Amino acid sequence: MNSRRKFITQSLGLAAGTALAPFLSSANSIPKPTMNLKEKLNVTLPSNYGLGGVAIGNGFRPTSDEQAQKALEGAWEAGVRFFDTSPFYGFGISERRFGRFLHNKNRNEYILATKVGRLLKPAKEAPSNGTWKEASPFTFEYDYSAEGVRRSIEDSLQRLGINSIDIVFIHDLSPENADMKDNWMDYFQVAAKGAMPELTKMREEGLIKGWGLGVNRIEPILETLKVAEPDICLSATQYSLMYHEDALKRLFPACEEKGVDIVSGAALNAGFLAGIDRYNYWGEMPEGYKEKRARMKEIAEKHGTDLRTAALQFAAAPKVVKAVIPGTRYPEQARENVESMKVKIPSDLWKELKEKKLISQHAPEPL
């Protein structure tokens, strides 16, 4: 029977012996820093924007296969070459759709990220509520062990129909995850001994280009920096026009010190800053946020731009942030978002937002 390692090694055409040796010598140990982080970084994103895979995976409302295909085509034509998906998005739908689109493209032309931490299992019915609408009939089990990560990547490769993944994010290992809450550190300990050293080995063997966390709070990333050497983390919901102080004060300096890059997820707060009355993923609208959004929208328009454009550029502005990855359901949205990353926004807009205390005085301004 093929081992997980052999499966992934063969899929990339690497020598099995070279891949196996480091695995056997240091399995289950928390990695010690071995080299200058800056020297080992081997993930270069093609631009400061990409495409997030929540809407493509039936996030918030159903999307047909055809609609998803058109959205991906629109994004590709607009120049998007960085794609982020997850087994969790629609319980496999998002990965299948990304794979269906990307498997015909030249593998060297794009960067693909997916996630680990949940293994999908066939179920009688699709899950009936939550973020995913008309999802595939699967359920999941959390697995942050070394073996679980191998299995998850193997499953993702098969769903995608693509023989390699560039960036692997350890997904939703975080206190706001309703399945974990106060016990999230128990899961974290499993990952610190399992997923993290395993992904580090996979990176060293050239099976992946980099790894990190994909989470909606900053604490899990800060804890990871203490025990492992991630390359790049997907920090979602923590750096947007609406909410950013904590990331600015604590997350970004810590990542900069360790040479860890950030991808900023949910820069539009799940559509809120594009004008949709939906804030993030938990069904709550924080008090005063609609009023704050209305004030910022008015100021953005006074300075000749729109709030969505300002939101995307704001989230991409810190030096440590390498890309924003707005989710899109339609080709027009993808085109608009790419255009938004290219326009010059008058600096007076940021000045006024700071004067009116709508954003942090210390927030980096887009150039």
Ligand X SMILES: NC(=O)c1ccc[n+]([C@@H]2O[C@H](COP(=O)([O-])OP(=O)(O)OC[C@H]3O[C@@H](n4cnc5c(N)ncnc54)[C@H](OP(=O)(O)O)[C@@H]3O)[C@@H](O)[C@H]2O)c1
Please give the residue ranges that form the binding site for ligand X (CB under 6 A).
52-55, 60, 84, 169, 171-172, 214-216, 234, 236, 265-271, 274, 276, 308, 325-329, 333, 336-337
Token pair for 7 = 């499966």
Beta carbon of residue 234, minimum distance to ligand X (angstroms, whole number): 5
Beta carbon of residue 275, minimum distance to ligand X (angstroms, whole number): 7
Q: Which of 49, 89, 142, 279 is catalytic?
A: 89
Token pair for 39 = 């020297």
- Could you tell me the maximum CA-CA distance found in the chain, to the nearest angstrom? 65
Nearest to 155 by CA among 96, 203, 196: 96
DSSP H stretches of helix in the chain: 4-12, 16-26, 37-40, 65-78, 93-102, 146-160, 184-193, 195-204, 219-227, 245-246, 252-258, 289-302, 307-316, 331-340, 347-355
Nearer to ligand X, 84 or 261 (CB): 84
Count of CB atoms situated within 10 Å of the CB of 16: 12
Nearer to ligand X, 59 or 127 (CB): 59
Angle between helices 347-355 and 289-302 (to 10 degrees): 140
How do strand 111-116 and strand 167-171 relate by DSSP bridges?
Answer: parallel
Give the C-alpha distances (Å, rounded to integers) separating 337 from 63, 107, 233, 274, 333: 19, 24, 22, 10, 6
Instruction: Say how far apart CA 98 and CA 68 lie, in whole Å.
Output: 9
Count of CB atoms situated within 10 Å of the CB of 175: 16
| Cβ atoms of 57 and 97 closer than 8 Å | yes
Beta carbon of residue 334, minimum distance to ligand X (angstroms, whole number): 8
Beta carbon of residue 24, minimum distance to ligand X (angstroms, whole number): 31
Residue 89 appears among annotated catalytic residues: yes
Nearer to ligand X, 19 or 233 (CB): 233
Beta carbon of residue 243, minimum distance to ligand X (angstroms, whole number): 12
Nearest to 240 by CA among 219, 259, 221, 216: 216
Q: How many residues does the chain have?
A: 367
Beta carbon of residue 80, minimum distance to ligand X (angstroms, whole number): 12
* Active-site annotation, residues: 89
